[in-house]
Structure 1
Amino acid sequence: MTNQSAAQQATEASTDSHLIARINAVAVKLVFPFIAKEDIRYYLNGINIRPLPEGGVMIVATDGHRAIVVRDPNGFAEEEIIVAISKDALKHAGSAKNTLDVMSDGQSMFSGKVAEPLFIQPGNALVDGIFPRIESVMNMKGYTEGIQGSLNPRYLYDALVISKSFGDSIRFFTTKSESDALNFTLSGIGDLECFGAIMKKRDLNTGLPAWFPKKQAANTLAEV
């Protein structure tokens, strides 16, 4: 009787589960490099899916040093959630025909164009916690196009790799302030829109070296 009751409860739980989010799988692959890895701030170890008032969703990932936001105009989210992403699932995230589907019971899967499951993530993928308001550090006021300031080259490299893999161009925007992030935008990724930021480093690299010999006047053409 006890076993039957447990089976009935499992069936009822499965029946009650429903879809709470569906996004373009490519968006997951775009933001994955920016997800924190084994951070004690556990809520950063996943992606934030947030419904937008004007429709669609934005997908956010950050490790505290850089952040990336993708707007999926065709995405759906019943509510704001944080979802853990398995690295093994990324091989199914390269096609815009595929989606990441998240259920209310925490089950998540990458599905094909006719909603067939391609990869079911193990366990409960929903992460409890409050994801930081990314708009508090990513702003667009006072920015002009260009790159300025000291940057972690690995973070810059990741942004360039993303643009090479998914888009057809990348543009950088900066301010003179060392406390403002270097922003970038990607284009050419279908219906998706992508905006990212890399925090500048506060280090002793103040610019070109003062010890470099000054230019001397040339006496002959050979010295030019």
Structure 2
Amino acid sequence: MSDQNEQMLIDGVQDTAPHANGPRRMIARVNAMVLKIVFPFMAQEDIRYYLNGINIRPLVLEDGVMVVATDGHRYVVVRDQHGYAEEEIIVSIKKDALKSCNTKSTFDVMSNGSAMVNDETGQEQFIQPGNSLIEGTFPRIENIASAIGYKEGISGAINPAYLNDALKIGQHFGSIRFFTRDQDSPLTFVVGGLGDLEVFGGIMKMRDSFEQLPRWFPRPVPFELTEV
């Protein structure tokens, strides 16, 4: 029975108890452009169901909210200075929602789990089906992210697809910088500001070794032996 209940939460079939009662109200709002930035870093159909969404958390010491997405191999963090969150939530994002997202639109999450993209006039451009709220505990990226000991540059084995997703974010913002500490620490990237949005992220390294040339590569020979 417990497994069935958990599955219902994963699929977002039922409203969760804290948000199912009372009048519907907005509990979070972020710039809709954030969805385009974080969606590639969000897990897809992961058994860790809480990773199949984005984490929206109100900032205590700064204005706005922090939005985080991770699939366990990389992460991205966005601060929306004008974003709002009544409480920390995890929200699923449908790919179709990205078509309506731009810097002038907003992504609004309601207390009953409904979520939609609205244009600058407040008109609904996309409404996600079902309950978008996901129950669970989102991992704390601050336990992984660090700038101590990092120097600018790229080193270590990096998944090229992950690197490409980071570069796509840089295309939106106009610039991107990479920082490395060692072969095992995440490759960190920071992009230039886009309005009121601040973005950085990290990509975990792949285990690889390149300490000597492969055996099939010819060994060096004296120069005179190479003459015809």
- Structure 2 length normalisation: TM-score? 0.83
1:191 Cα shift?
Answer: 1.4
Matched, 1:142 2:142: no
Aligned sequence identity (%): 57
Aligned position for 1:59: 67
The 5 Å alignment of 1:209-220 reads none
**2: CA distance between counterparts of 1:90 and 1:201?**
30
* Alignment gaps of 5+ in structure 1: 1-12
Equivalent AA in structure 1 for residue 208 of structure 2:
D
Letter in 2 for 1:202: R
Cα gap change, 1:182 to 1:115, in 2 (>3 Å): same
User: Which residue is equivalent to 1:88?
Assistant: 96
- 5 Å-filtered alignment, 1:42-191, equals 42-53=49-60, 54-93=62-101, 95-164=102-171, 166-176=172-182, 178-191=183-196
2: CA distance, partners of 1:52 / 1:167: 23
Q: Deviations over 1:87-125 (max 9, x none)?
A: 1111011x1110000011101100110111111100000
Letter matched to residue 174 of structure 1: T
CA contact (8 A) 2:106 2:117 kept: yes
* Residue equivalent to 1:41: 48
Within 2, Cα distance between the matches of 1:91 and 1:199?
29
Q: 1:189 to 1:217 in 2, by over 3 A?
A: farther
Q: Does residue 1:193 correspond to 2:198, yes or no? A: yes
Quote the Cα distance in structure 2 between the aligned partners of 1:207 and 1:86.
Answer: 46
Aligned to 1:100, the other structure's residue is in SS state: strand
1:141-198 deviation line (CA, Å, top 9, x unaligned) = 110100011111111111112212x11111000012x331000011142210000100
1:30 aligns with 2:37: yes
Alpha-carbon RMSD across the aligned residues, in angstroms, is: 2.2
For 2:35, the aligned partner's letter is V
How far off is 1:43 after superposition? 0.2
Are the counterparts in 1 of residues 193 and 199 from structure 2 also a CA contact under 8 Å? no
Q: Is the 8 A contact 2:156 2:184 kept in 1?
A: no
Matched AA of 2:111? S
User: Residue type of the partner of 1:155?
Assistant: Y
